[in-house]
Amino acid sequence: MAFEMKKQGVLLALGYVATLGGAGAFGYFAYEKYKEARDEEASVGKQIEMADIKIARIPGLETDVICLRENVGELVKILPDSKEVNEFVNKLNDFSIESGVELSSLKPEKDRSKKKDVFDKVIYKLEMTANLDRFLQFLSACEGWERFVRVTSLEIDGGDWDEEMARDEVVHDISVALETYAYRGHDDPSKLSTTIHNYERRRDTLWDEIISRRSEIRVERYTYVPNELRRDMFIDPRRRIVDDGDGGLPYEEQQALVMDFVTRAAELADKLSALEAPGLNFIRRMELDNEIDSKLYGLQNEVEACVASRDVTDHSLRRRIERDVMPILRSVGETRGVTTAASIEDLRQFRNKMAELLDAGNYAAVVAQFDTIEDRLAPEDLDPEMLALLQDMEQTAYQASAAMDFESKDIEIGGAIVASSRSVVVVNGLVLSEGDALEDDLIVHRIAADRIEFEYRGVVLAKVR
């Protein structure tokens, strides 16, 4: 009986343990499922969060797409479409005429009709004759064009320099390949299509933004500036020596003289162009007039003396004078003698500028300023107020001129006695009182403890002790 009870107790304990084990296993399984569900929920939440971020970005992305689509014409403006590329040849012909190169051949190197890419390469081979300067002008015209153009190959066969030719008359045989791209997106707008709800309405509301972004699109351009003195590296730089029988200066001196004439003539032309610039103030206008007169008459006299004495006998150098110097002298000479109108405000500004220079002690600049205007205003043509301003400027220039002369004088100041009854000073070894003359037009005006004032040519000027 006792054994049976123990057996039942053992069986009950085992059943209890088995029940507990089963419950534990079920609990563990349930916990793992719970963890998986929680992790999945967190993952879904993260995906929802990322989706919300992407959704929030959609309006901004759509704005960018609309702006880009409306401005795509500007963005790819440097690339012609399939129709405009046919005008490429005409444009190259225009550039050749403008720059002065002579085209002998212009042929395509590629058959465009078989190409279906969005960006279709187009290459043309050009054969031409030109000197270096004209060829560089041709390339500059291509570079400055609103369409993209690239040089892919270049061959230059240098020309011969004949004895009777000027340097810039030498032409070279030039072969150059120019490349551009046709943009076929213009031809097939579907390649740019992206569906945006209410596109037209949103485009209209974004028009200010579209225009703003369009203004940020810039195409860098470069303008070639010819330099007549630039050496052409494709011709032989050696030059014949002038025969003794030709007379004149040695060739090197002739060349240096003519190059100096050409450079100075070009400077004259630049100053004449600056004089014609809009918005030029009266003071600068007067300065330029004065500079032009000074340079013009100096160069004219030298060129005339050179021609008369036959210092330049080389044919090409003489042609250079006739071509690059004489026309500029004639052109500038035709503008001389033209009176520049001045207003009362112009003269006031000029007078004030001279006064500022005088106060700063820049006496030479004061005189130079007045020289630019002295012979360009006829007093009989001025009204009383303008005449008073001119006289005021004349007095200022006189004071500056006197101050310049005074500063150049050798005046050595020694000891001085300042007294209420009679002050004396030692100047250049002479004992002088106020009112005494050191020399003609130079009188001791006032003796002070820190300086001695002189009256020179009616102008009071001081020397610091």
Residues 389 and 417 in one domain: no
Looking at residue 130, its pLDDT comes to 92
Closest among 297, 305, 380 to 332, alpha carbons compared = 297
In a domain, 119, yes or no: yes
224 within some domain: no
361, 376, 408 - which closes a domain? 408
Q: Report the alpha-carbon angle 336-339-345, nearest 5.
A: 135
Within this chain, do residues 310 and 399 fall inside the same structural domain, yes or no? Answer: no
Residue ending a domain, among 158, 184, 210, is 184
Note whether 348 and 300 are same-domain residues.
no
| Same domain, residue pair 319 and 362 | no
Same domain, 320 and 296: yes
Separation of alpha carbons 458 and 68, rounded Å = 76
Domain contains 316: yes
Number of helices followed by number of strands (H, E) in the chain: 12, 11
Residue 457 sits in a domain whose CATH number is 2.30.30
Residues 404 and 448 in one domain: no
At residue 344, the pLDDT reads 77
371 near 350, Cβ under 8 Å? no
- Please give the Cα distance from 155 to 152 (Å, whole number): 11
CA 273 to chain CA centroid, Å, is 17
Residue 115 lies in a domain: yes
- What CA–CA distances, in Å, run from 227 to 203, 374, 395, 426? 50, 36, 45, 63
Tell me, yes or no, if the pTM score tops 0.75.
Answer: no
- Placement of tokens 């006197």 in the chain: 402
* Gap between the Cα atoms of 169 and 167, Å rounded: 5
Would residue 229 count as lying in a domain?
no
Asked, for residue 14, whether it belongs to a domain, the answer is: no
Kindly state whether residues 327 and 368 are assigned to the same domain. Answer: no
DSSP 8-state assignment for residue 19? H
Give the pLDDT score at 341.
62
Q: Are residues 349 and 441 located together in one domain of the fold?
A: no
What pLDDT is recorded for position 3? 47
Determine the structural domain holding residue 442 and report its residue range: 410-465
Residues 418 and 437 in one domain: yes
95 in the same domain as 172: yes
Strand pairing partners for 157? Answer: 173
How far is the C-alpha of 285 from the C-alpha of 244, rounded, in Å? 48
DSSP line for 191-218: GG----TTHHHHHHHTHHHHHHHHHT--
For the stretch 411-456, pLDDT in tens is 888 888 888 788 888 888 888 898 999 888 899 898 888 889 999 9
Two tokens at 405? 């002369």
DSSP state of 393: H
Task: Say which DSSP state 242 is in.
Answer: P
Q: How far is CA 127 from CA 92, 93, 258, 448, in A?
A: 12, 12, 34, 86
CA atoms within 13 A on the CB side of 56: 6
The CA dihedral of 103, 109, 114, 116, to the nearest 10 degrees, is -90
Give the residue from 377, 408, 439 where a domain finishes: 408
Residue pointed to by tokens 């042929």:
107
Task: HSE, CB side, 13 Å, CA atoms: give it for residue 87.
Answer: 9
Do 418 and 387 have their domain in common?
no
| Predicted pLDDT of residue 244 | 45
Q: Give the integer Cα–Cα distance in Å for 166 and 363.
A: 48
In tens, the pLDDT along 34-69 reads: 667 676 766 777 777 776 666 666 666 677 777 776
Tally of domains in the chain: 4
pLDDT for 108: 83
303 is a domain residue: yes
pLDDT at 135: 92
Determine, yes or no, domain membership for 304. Answer: yes
Q: Which positions of the chain have pLDDT values less than 50?
A: 3, 10, 17, 113, 189-190, 192, 241-245, 338
Q: How far is CA 195 from its chain centroid?
A: 44
CA atoms in the 13 A half-sphere facing the CB of 49: 6
Same-domain check for residues 330 and 345? no
Residues paired with 126 in a beta bridge: 106, 176
Write down the residue that tokens 């032989």 correspond to: 236
Q: Which residues contact 273 (CB under 8 A, 6 or more apart)?
A: none
